[in-house]
Amino acid sequence: MTDEMLDDPQFVATRERFWMRGLTNERFAHHRVAVAEYGGELIGIAQSAPPTDADATWSQQLNVLYVLASAHGTGAGAGLLDAVLSQSEAAALWVADPNPRALAVYRKHGFVSDGAFKEEYGIKEIRMVRRTPAN
């Protein structure tokens, strides 16, 4: 997200509405959500859902994976990824480019760029896909 979006005084309220709707609306019941905690404090969150891309050949899409900077390197991100994406199903995600840390994490977990890209809110994103072991 751009600094302008993060600095918007309505950002927190907007995100709270987003998560409340996503966690309570029956329409989103098929989404997978997981949180990571350490010492009783929330340190990360992940969410996946069925794919939205028209050309999808995968069955799941990672929409959210956030881990506090203070928890980087603890395994929280890997645990969240495993909690919301099945290893036996192909998956995809969109990631900001450049974002070297995120790209490295996703590559470590078997995701590779498939050449697709888009720009939203002034941010370039690339699509990464992880095929099933059989593919």
Summarised one tens digit per residue, pLDDT across range 71-125 is: 999 999 999 999 999 999 999 999 999 999 999 999 999 999 999 999 987 889 9
62-71 burial string, b = 16+ CB within 10 Å, else e?
Answer: bbbbebeeeb
Selecting from 3.20.20.70, 3.40.630.30, 3.30.300.30, 3.90.420.10, what CATH number does the domain 31-130 have? 3.40.630.30
Structure-block tokens of residue 85:
């994406």
Q: Name the β-bridge partners of 37.
A: 42
* 8 Å CB contact between 80 and 44: yes
Which range of 4-18, 67-81, 119-133 scores highest in mean pLDDT? It is 67-81
Q: What is the pTM of this model?
A: 0.86
Q: Is the dihedral of CA 58, 59, 60, 61 positive or negative?
A: positive
